[in-house]
A and B are shown apart, each in its own frame.
Chain A
């Protein structure tokens, strides 16, 4: 199982280590540093690195490498999933997951890691249970603790850990009972030169924020559940009921959680909400290139496309770009050759465009590679797959909760080739 954990920052320093079995010397990380040096980009470090006696499995999150050391045959996904859980927990506890935050809370971090893993076996990874065991630091609590001398470690056996619903603690009380669900869809697409879709798929999630008293039992039904043929559930969802009736029935955890994630595959017809007209050309023998880009909405069901951000890695030969945006601002970094254009909202009446010239090194030959354009955007009040919640009902408790559902579509990896 998981032997040790090292946290490595962007400059390649180990700033925290934790061992669950015997101590492994930090020199084992040298193999990781070698791989780091070889990698052209920070994210290109291979996730599994063999060393003579150990295996290093790492993830990169928030510019920190979480490097787990294992010694025997362990499922790598198990390790990676666990590391993600560690990251999520840190973020949950400290608001951000940065080197500074971790160093500021090093004792809590240690207590958490000790509680999450025992001898390399996961012990308590549910945020509900952890929070009962180790209270998250807040400014108020630190002050109260200092005055009263009380501690931020729970005295009680965490109740959830043994019940049949380990994700929910007992005795939850709220004065305002509310349940919010966010349907968020990310669209991943590759569009080719001519504007036709090569592949497009949707990753959707339903995130919930449930603050309900007692042990509520919820059911959520959809207008068009048939869209959901590839789903992953939170453990609280009763799978049998879903199989039989296509209804989500569950006792929710307390607070924020991801109820469900789903995937609408490339085999279904996926609507593409924006289009790009582009003309990026270099002429042989000239040190100038032309750049012309126009964006427009498409299949948005009348909803506005907002927070549009266009970025593109221009060819290495480009020295500078002299462009003129019809709206928003653009930047070009001559070192990394990254062009990024903050467009804002697309007005269907007046389409945003970015036009101008790029200068090349004098005498250099025409660049071989075609830049890919990466687009980010958001569309509120719409799930691009067309998924719609029908109704939400609550059983098991008497009060009337406040319910809310929000839809949003975002661009995931949305790429246009030129």
Chain B
């Protein structure tokens, strides 16, 4: 007897029959009936009409029957919410059952019923279950929080379940920890900015402990969570790596890949000369190779990830080329991936082997694969210069096979080889020309035409060949038409005497008989060039072309870095950042690899790719009068300029010119800046480049714009960090030795990578050794307080100095000081306690995300009463407005908009303090006038004076 019997009663009246059976007194009959109902449900039949009857069976001691009813409930409660309420009592009762299995089952099922009315009743039982004595119940309840969050996020937050869930990370049972992590990760996905998984060394340690003991699935969750952590230093990084490495031997491939992700990421922080670094590299290869012996689906995902790994760290798999050799019965998706990786690993050492393989593949049956193999041979030639000759001869062999698609593909790649090694392999052209007739694909035809045009002087019958293509000009695809046009013009420039007619013909075909605007435009340009200045035409058309390189098919480095942080995920399969495709992940934070040890402070560089970086930068030029800020200006600040705002392009030009000036000035003034901008500044493109500095740029511009917009764009693209340039005053004596029994303290404040630091030089001018340093602050206006103890580890011997950087945070007690930025400090050592006070520049408190939306700025400016506005004069400042803007931005004073009226530049700027106070500013700069005017508006006008001092300090340093 099997379950298929449940499917047999498909006659009319089936529902009626089932109803009767469900209400039967006999337990056995009831159960059979419920089974029939479930069976119908699984195949998609609608049995919702039986809802009340099935729910009636729920109150039973029979566990199987109970489970079956639960299954039914989960499926239909949504469509019958009123009925589902009937079940609530039983659930609540079951949550108190002495058997933990029943308690867990009840809370689990309740979470699956996606009906608001029911979820309200779920809160109390869930709260109890989260604190249940039995870990099985706790771990089930942890998942239930995630379910509830999916249904009603607000409820979960209001009820404080998130905190309870966070507490479970410290649970004694590893499975509970793993499930809590999994639930939190899922919830965090819909709250990208919440700090749900607050990772610190303590929690990391707990996770690592749980990692050893929990199930394989739990290990995946924990490893993925670990990957989000950024270790403090290379030692912590190494110790985590050591504890994660055993996971590489796990039988579950997902665990292995997640472990690989953690190691790949944390490895970045290890110094390359460390022995352990080499050991780790060696340990990574075997598990990756093993993944390739698994089922094809696993192989596919593994290969996509290996593709990333070999781009980032080719040394890991450089000796493993052979495992990527294709087996003829691999599924096509595996074959294509293997091929790709083979090329990436190809080097002078193994190229012979690779080529032999590729040649073998080129005779296989599958057309897609064969094509890709032929292309791969071309890529090898471009990548490994020494092999180019051999590749070309392999391609020629393949052309001899006369297999149509092989020939076409070979011609396309030979064109690329010509682009890489010009004037080297032209001897093969004759062979190529023999196959002219068999080419029927546009790409191959275009490639062939390009070759003929490029080497027209060496092909005797080039004109005939091209003429033969011209006959069917209008039937060709655009690609071929454009190529043909160019090729004939090239031919004409090389052999003008005999081809005049041909060029006339193609020009008239392109310009008069074609509807394609691209073709027409190109035709006209050639025509005019040829008719006005043939020498110029030659220079344009026959210009030397840049060589191509293999870089073209590498993943762009910033994207690669991000993808390495996403190893094992869908992003790694698609080779796209998650933000590009995962639904509901708006605002997903871009992940970056941590910087390696010794490379200075970690640098906040723009996380998007270069293209995104460029497009992200909003133009700072006010483009039209309709603009909101324009309105603001018209409203209450300045009269609208009579002529109206200049068109955007012109203003770009003006700015370029101005930067030219500013740049020159700055370099005269001895700022460390490159004069590049000065050379290029006049061009409109540059102007546009300048017009778009603030948003995506690192908040660090010490050197003013003069280094040039283009340069900046490069930096954006490369993701190369720049030194943090927030203004920091020079060190001053805070505590003279006389007053402190021989201890002298020089100090200053700095903000580096978003961290406020108190940087001090302690000098021992006494005769005895000083030890046991400690530091404390008095309450102050912004709650500044040391984030850690004062790190003076070694005793300070007489006449010795030590540099200390004390990170600060702003969570301490607050008391208004006078002046506002006054800080009273107590320093203790083994001799005594000393007191001093110092003043910090308020710019230390300007946070990096203090760039206000333009609309918000407008509203806020209007909203703050005019009484709160204060005006200051900054004298003797010789910066251009853009240079000033950039300099200010280095200290997190953000220019939101700029407007030029009557030769006066007005910069609108915003600042946000660590305690959330916003300061809005208007900076007026008149060309030629060294005195700036700054107007500050703030809801707390007390800070204005300090902010002004910062303006002055930043601009003048």
Residues of A within 8 A of B (CB): 1, 15-23, 26, 40-41, 43-44, 46-48, 50, 53, 55, 57-60, 71-78, 80-82, 84, 103-111, 114, 118-119, 121-123, 125, 137, 142, 146, 149, 151-158, 161-162, 164, 166, 188, 190, 192, 198-199, 201, 203, 229-235, 239, 243, 258, 261, 263, 265-267, 313, 316, 368-370, 372, 374, 413, 415, 417
What's the Cα separation between A40 and B333 when bound, in Å?
12
A157 touches B251 (CB 8 A): no
Q: Report the 10 A-B pairs with minimum CB-CB distance, sorted nearest first.
A: A230-B286, A153-B64, A104-B2, A77-B254, A151-B64, A47-B297, A199-B322, A122-B217, A78-B254, A266-B322
Q: Does B43 contact A (CB under 8 A)?
A: yes
Once A46-B333, A81-B252 are accepted as A-B contacts, the answer to whether A161 and B136 lie under 8 Å apart by CB is yes
* Chain B residue nearest to A233 in the complex (CB): B249
Distance between B405 CB and nearest chain A CB, rounded to angstroms = 11
* Chain A residue nearest to B174 in the complex (CB): A164
Q: Does B121 contact A (CB under 8 A)?
A: no
Given contacts A71-B584, A118-B108, A415-B329, 7 further A-B contacts (CB under 8 A): A44-B332, A110-B71, A201-B293, A239-B249, A243-B246, A372-B328, A374-B328
Once A72-B189, A110-B71 are accepted as A-B contacts, the answer to whether A77 and B108 lie under 8 Å apart by CB is no
Distance between A365 CB and nearest chain B CB, rounded to angstroms = 9
Distance between B198 CB and nearest chain A CB, rounded to angstroms = 21
B67 touches A80 (CB 8 A): no
Residues in B with CB closer than 8 Å to A198 are 322, 325, 353, 357
Once A58-B297, A232-B290 are accepted as A-B contacts, the answer to whether A17 and B136 lie under 8 Å apart by CB is no
Once A73-B570, A122-B215 are accepted as A-B contacts, the answer to whether A316 and B365 lie under 8 Å apart by CB is yes
Residue in B251, B323, B585 whose Cβ sees the most chain A Cβ within 10 Å: B251
What's the Cα separation between A118 and B70 when bound, in Å?
13
B67 touches A77 (CB 8 A): no
A190 touches B325 (CB 8 A): yes
Distance between A198 CB and nearest chain B CB, rounded to angstroms = 6
What's the Cα separation between A151 and B320 when bound, in Å?
54
Residues in B with CB closer than 8 Å to A153 are 63-64, 67
What's the Cα separation between A60 and B1 when bound, in Å?
29
B6 touches A76 (CB 8 A): no
Once A17-B44, A84-B295, A229-B286 are accepted as A-B contacts, the answer to whether A106 and B301 lie under 8 Å apart by CB is no
Q: CB < 8 Å: which of A77, A82, A151, A239 contacts B63?
A: A151
Residues in B with CB closer than 8 Å to A118 are 108, 140, 143
B301 touches A47 (CB 8 A): yes
B3 touches A74 (CB 8 A): no
What's the Cα separation between A261 and B27 when bound, in Å?
48
Residues in B with CB closer than 8 Å to A114 are 67, 71
What's the Cα separation between A332 and B740 when bound, in Å?
100
What's the Cα separation between A22 and B258 when bound, in Å?
28
Distance between B93 CB and nearest chain A CB, rounded to angstroms = 18
Q: Does B599 contact A (CB under 8 A)?
A: no
Q: Does B182 contact A (CB under 8 A)?
A: yes
Distance between B91 CB and nearest chain A CB, rounded to angstroms = 16
Once A44-B333, A162-B135 are accepted as A-B contacts, the answer to whether A369 and B365 lie under 8 Å apart by CB is yes
Once A77-B568, A105-B3, A232-B251 are accepted as A-B contacts, the answer to whether A119 and B111 lie under 8 Å apart by CB is yes
Residue in A46, A73, A370, A415 whose Cβ sees the most chain B Cβ within 10 Å: A73
B3 touches A152 (CB 8 A): no
Q: Does B364 contact A (CB under 8 A)?
A: yes
A106 touches B215 (CB 8 A): no
Distance between B142 CB and nearest chain A CB, rounded to angstroms = 9
Q: Can you list 17 contacts pairing A with B, beta carbon distance less than 8 Å?
A: A22-B114, A48-B570, A58-B297, A73-B569, A73-B571, A77-B568, A80-B254, A107-B35, A118-B108, A121-B183, A146-B28, A151-B31, A154-B63, A164-B213, A199-B323, A233-B251, A265-B289
What's the Cα separation between A47 and B304 when bound, in Å?
12
* Chain B residue nearest to A193 in the complex (CB): B360
B251 touches A261 (CB 8 A): yes
Q: Does B39 contact A (CB under 8 A)?
A: yes
Q: CB < 8 Å: which of B64, B220, B296, B584 contacts A75?
A: B220
What's the Cα separation between A48 and B286 when bound, in Å?
25
* Chain B residue nearest to A58 in the complex (CB): B297
A107 touches B143 (CB 8 A): no
What's the Cα separation between A104 and B78 when bound, in Å?
28
What's the Cα separation between A258 and B217 when bound, in Å?
18
Q: Does B380 contact A (CB under 8 A)?
A: no
Residues in A with CB closer than 8 Å to B78 are 22-23
Distance between B148 CB and nearest chain A CB, rounded to angstroms = 10
A119 touches B146 (CB 8 A): yes
Once A75-B224, A77-B254, A77-B257 are accepted as A-B contacts, the answer to whether A108 and B3 lie under 8 Å apart by CB is yes
Q: CB < 8 Å: which of A75, A81, A229 contacts B569?
A: A75
Residues in A with CB closer than 8 Å to B254 are 75, 77-78, 80-81
Mark interface residues in B169-188 (1 if CB within 8 Å of A CB, else 0): 00001010001001100100
Tell me whether chain B's interface is mostly helix, strand or loop, or mixed: helix
B573 touches A230 (CB 8 A): no
What's the Cα separation between A234 and B31 when bound, in Å?
39
What's the Cα separation between A370 and B401 when bound, in Å?
13
Q: Does B528 contact A (CB under 8 A)?
A: no
Residues in A with CB closer than 8 Å to B360 are 192, 417
Residues in B with CB closer than 8 Å to A235 are 215-216, 250-251
What's the Cα separation between A258 and B294 when bound, in Å?
15
Q: CB < 8 Å: which of A20, A26, A50, A106 contacts B39?
A: A106
Distance between B499 CB and nearest chain A CB, rounded to angstroms = 39
A78 touches B220 (CB 8 A): yes
Distance between B476 CB and nearest chain A CB, rounded to angstroms = 28
- Segment 572-594 of B: residues with Cβ below 8 Å from A: 573-574, 578, 581-585
A230 touches B289 (CB 8 A): yes
Q: Does B520 contact A (CB under 8 A)?
A: no
What's the Cα separation between A23 and B75 when bound, in Å?
8
What's the Cα separation between A155 and B581 when bound, in Å?
45
Residues in A with CB closer than 8 Å to B357 are 198
* Chain B residue nearest to A142 in the complex (CB): B1
B249 touches A107 (CB 8 A): no
What's the Cα separation between A58 and B27 when bound, in Å?
40
* Chain A residue nearest to B363 in the complex (CB): A369
Q: CB < 8 Å: which of B147, B173, B217, B571 contacts A125?
A: B217
Residues in A with CB closer than 8 Å to B256 are 232
A265 touches B67 (CB 8 A): no
A76 touches B251 (CB 8 A): no
Q: Does B65 contact A (CB under 8 A)?
A: yes
What's the Cα separation between A243 and B248 when bound, in Å?
13
Q: CB < 8 Å: which of A59, A316, A374 contacts B329?
A: A374
A73 touches B585 (CB 8 A): yes
Distance between B765 CB and nearest chain A CB, rounded to angstroms = 54
* Chain B residue nearest to A21 in the complex (CB): B150
B38 touches A157 (CB 8 A): no
B333 touches A106 (CB 8 A): no
A53 touches B62 (CB 8 A): no
Distance between B591 CB and nearest chain A CB, rounded to angstroms = 12
Q: CB < 8 Å: which of A151, A263, A417 contacts B62?
A: A151
B6 touches A106 (CB 8 A): yes
A263 touches B289 (CB 8 A): yes
Residues in B with CB closer than 8 Å to A137 are 2
Residues in A with CB closer than 8 Å to B325 are 190, 198-199
What's the Cα separation between A146 and B2 when bound, in Å?
12
Residues in A with CB closer than 8 Å to B144 are 119
- Segment 234-285 of B: residues with Cβ below 8 Å from A: 246, 249-254, 256-258
- Segment 128-162 of B: residues with Cβ below 8 Å from A: 134-136, 140, 143-144, 146-147, 150
Residues in A with CB closer than 8 Å to B581 are 50
Q: Does B428 contact A (CB under 8 A)?
A: no
What's the Cα separation between A60 and B99 when bound, in Å?
39
Once A72-B584, A75-B220, A111-B67 are accepted as A-B contacts, the answer to whether A103 and B112 lie under 8 Å apart by CB is no
Residues in A with CB closer than 8 Å to B570 are 48, 55, 73-74, 76
Residue in B3, B6, B300 whose Cβ sees the most chain A Cβ within 10 Å: B3
What's the Cα separation between A40 and B63 when bound, in Å?
48
What's the Cα separation between A209 and B750 when bound, in Å?
66
